[in-house]
Amino acid sequence: MQPQIILLKEGTDSSQGVPQIVSNINACQAIADAVRTTLGPRGMDKLIINDQGKATISNDGATILKILDIVHPAAKTLVDIAKSQDAEVGDGTTSVTLLAGEFLKEAKPFIEEAVHPQIIIKAFRKAATEAVKKIKEISVRINKSDPKEMRQLLEKCAATSLSSKLVAHQKDFFTKMVVDAVMLLDELLPLNMIGVKKVTGGGLEDSVLIAGVAFKKTFSYAGFEMQPKKYTKLKIALLNIELELKAERDNAEVRVDSVEEYQSIVDAEWKILYDKLDILHKSGAKVILSKLPIGDVATQYFADRDMFCAGRVVEEDLKRTMKACGGSIQTTVQNLSPDVLGSCETFEEIQIGGERYNLFTGCPQARTCTIILRGGAEQFIEETERSLHDAIMIVRRTMKNDAVVAGGGAIEMELSKHLRNLSRTIAGKEQLLMGAMAKALEIIPRQLCENAGFDATNILNKLRQRHAQGGIWYGVDVLNEDIADNFENCVWEPAVVKINAITAAAEASCLILSVDETVKNPKAQQDGPPGGGMGRGRGRPM
Ligand code: ADP
Ligand code: MG
């Protein structure tokens, strides 16, 4: 009998070889199944309740996978690519997960028949490169110099992104808003210059876009009622200073022997505060914003002098005001020269729903805007925000790179055809593998059909025929249960979304195919000395 060799600690869980790859593939398919039904304009939404009982309704692949809290190590890869797709391009997160799941599904029979994973990986990489090349070749460039054409293009891309969301009914309304919002930004299109605020109540269509900074009125002390609520052509002081009486006393320990001494300290405190307020008043600023609290004495002081103040302004809002209106945030009042003050055309405090909002418009420096979302349930507004985020990202992407392709499965069908034709020119196993990849790409139109309740086989056959005849932009027409030229129907998507999705999905599936062993160390013993479970490899005796 052979002696048994013990290599790993007792309790180590290790599995390897073909069954391991197949089990990883199965896990990834389970992930793809979780988001499958959300794809496309007729996709369903998911309601997820987390461990704290918070409910989220979402249609966004990345959001769903993030909340699901997946623990399977291989399946986590898919969650990661969905997240990175979200960060890179902002849309196409469901597509990327589905594609990766489908690539793996097509690879499974080969693995089971003992084709070496490296051969599959090589073929998949090649196919992905070819697909990307093809997208670049056929994507349509739009003339950027014509503002009208550009705007049309942007609206179409935003509309395609929104048509698969909960807010699809208000698509036209939000499309305009999103494009306006992005158009208000400057060259670099910084995302953080679009503020999104949510106010429950009212209808979705009561949402407004404000060309400037807006934030919820902060907590105010008595006296604010007397402050004016509207100015034009004003100066703004941005502070990080506490304008409250108690402030100085808390900074040090003071010992006093008599009432007079105490009184002099109190007087000094008042004087310090009043000196600050006087300087602020003299600086010519009409609106005083501070990150720290502004107390009742200061509030009253400003009210008496026809000035407005707001304390405890959220840092993000304060920074956005600074970027928009100019000036800089001051930590002392000593050098309040005119150039550190911001300025804008109008300041106004208005009522939106049950909340009061401070608005700054006509800002000279950077270009910024704020979307104030209205709507019934909180979850609904949150999903609206996520949908708008996708659309905003798409519009930004399109403004930066102006190539588009037709969506609704059109581009995927064309790529599928291209790869299938290409595979016929290759000899050996690679031919079959590239064919498998071509088949996998059909998952997007197939799922779009299935989610809309159409006969997928029928429609896919029609699409294959049409593409073979040269109709490169034919895709699923979700309104008429048929196929249609989606380029003419204006179902457009930026080419970069598709390029990123295919590359990321191919990379992820190659990664999963290349793992043939998982070793899981046993859990550290509970009652050992602290850190004792680390054992080997840490310079400890074995
Ligand atoms: P993702 O997270 O991948 O963006 P979506 O649920 O947004 O998932 O669905 C996107 C898919 O729906 C894309 O393939 C897109 O082309 C398709 N799509 C969007 N609008 C339409 C439409 N009006 N007709 C057909 N397909 C559409
Ligand atoms: Mg989308």
- Dist CA 16 CA 4 (whole Å): 19
Residue 532 has pLDDT above 50, yes or no: no
Average pLDDT over residues 224-244: 82
Report domain extents, the chain.
Answer: 13-141+406-520, 212-365
Per residue in 256-267, pLDDT (tens digit) is 888 888 888 888
Q: Which letter does DSSP use for residue 294 in this model?
A: B
Percentage of residues in the chain having pLDDT higher than 90: 26
363 confidence band (pLDDT: 50, 70, 90): confident
Which ligand ends up closest to the CA of 448? 1
Which of 66, 443, 448 has most ligand 1 atoms within 8 Å of CB, for mutation? Answer: 448
Q: What's the 56 CA to ligand 1 centre distance in angstroms? A: 21
Please tell me the chain's helix, strand, coil percentages from 3-state DSSP, rounded to the nearest 5. Answer: 50, 20, 35
150 confidence band (pLDDT: 50, 70, 90): confident
Per residue in 379-425, pLDDT (tens digit) is 888 889 988 988 888 888 777 777 889 889 999 999 999 999 999 99
| Residue 13 falls in the annotated catalytic set | no
The mean pLDDT value of the chain amounts to 85
Beta bridge partners of 296: none
Residue 192 has φ and ψ, to the nearest 5°, of -75, 0
Per-residue model confidence (pLDDT) at position 451: 92
Average pLDDT over residues 224-241: 82
Residue 131 has pLDDT above 90, yes or no: yes
Q: What angle do CA 449, 453, 456 make, to 5 degrees?
A: 40
527 confidence band (pLDDT: 50, 70, 90): low
Average pLDDT over residues 163-190: 84
Active-site choice (38, 94, 321, 398): 94
Comparing 178 with 13, which gets the higher pLDDT?
A: 178
525 confidence band (pLDDT: 50, 70, 90): low
Q: Are 26 and 74 in contact (CB under 8 A)?
A: no
Residue 331 has pLDDT above 90, yes or no: no
Per-residue model confidence (pLDDT) at position 253: 76
- Dist CA 326 CA 334 (whole Å): 19
191 confidence band (pLDDT: 50, 70, 90): confident
Which ligand 1 atom is the nearest neighbour of the CA of 410? 16
74 confidence band (pLDDT: 50, 70, 90): confident
Residue nearest to atom 1 of ligand 1 (CA): 92
Per-residue model confidence (pLDDT) at position 531: 44
Percentage of residues in the chain having pLDDT higher than 70: 94
Class of domain 13-141+406-520: mainly alpha
Q: What's the 168 CA to ligand 2 centre distance in angstroms? A: 12
Which residues does a 6 A CB cutoff place in the pocket of ligand 1?
Answer: 38-41, 43, 59-61, 91-95, 160, 163-164, 407-408, 444, 448, 476, 478, 491, 493
Per-residue model confidence (pLDDT) at position 535: 42
Per-residue model confidence (pLDDT) at position 541: 44
491 confidence band (pLDDT: 50, 70, 90): confident
| Residue 60 falls in the annotated catalytic set | yes
Per residue in 456-466, pLDDT (tens digit) is 999 999 999 99
Q: What's the 91 CA to ligand 2 centre distance in angstroms? A: 5
- Dist CA 507 CA 183 (whole Å): 34
Lowest mean per-residue pLDDT among 70-79, 141-150, 405-414, 477-486:
141-150
- Dist CA 209 CA 404 (whole Å): 27
Retrieve residue 61's tokens: 């692949």
Which ligand 1 atom is the nearest neighbour of the CA of 493? 16
Q: Which letter does DSSP use for residue 128 in this model?
A: H
Residue whose structure tokens are 């300025």: 343
Which ligand ends up closest to the CA of 389? 2
Residue 192 has pLDDT above 50, yes or no: yes
Average pLDDT over residues 465-470: 92
Per-residue model confidence (pLDDT) at position 469: 92
Does domain 212-365 fall into CATH 3.50.7.10?
Answer: yes
Instruction: State how beta strands 369-375 and 140-141 pair.
Output: unpaired
Whether the domain at 13-141+406-520 and the domain at 212-365 fall into the same CATH topology: no
Q: What's the 164 CA to ligand 1 centre distance in angstroms? A: 6
Name 437's Cβ contacts closer than 8 Å, sequence gap at least 6. 103, 106, 123, 124, 127, 128, 131, 419, 506
| Residue 384 falls in the annotated catalytic set | no
| Residue 275 falls in the annotated catalytic set | no
Q: What's the 234 CA to ligand 1 centre distance in angstroms? A: 46
Per residue in 505-517, pLDDT (tens digit) is 999 999 999 888 8
Average pLDDT over residues 466-482: 90
Closest CA to 345 of 237, 211, 230, 234: 234
Which of 491, 492, 500 has most ligand 1 atoms within 8 Å of CB, for mutation? Answer: 491
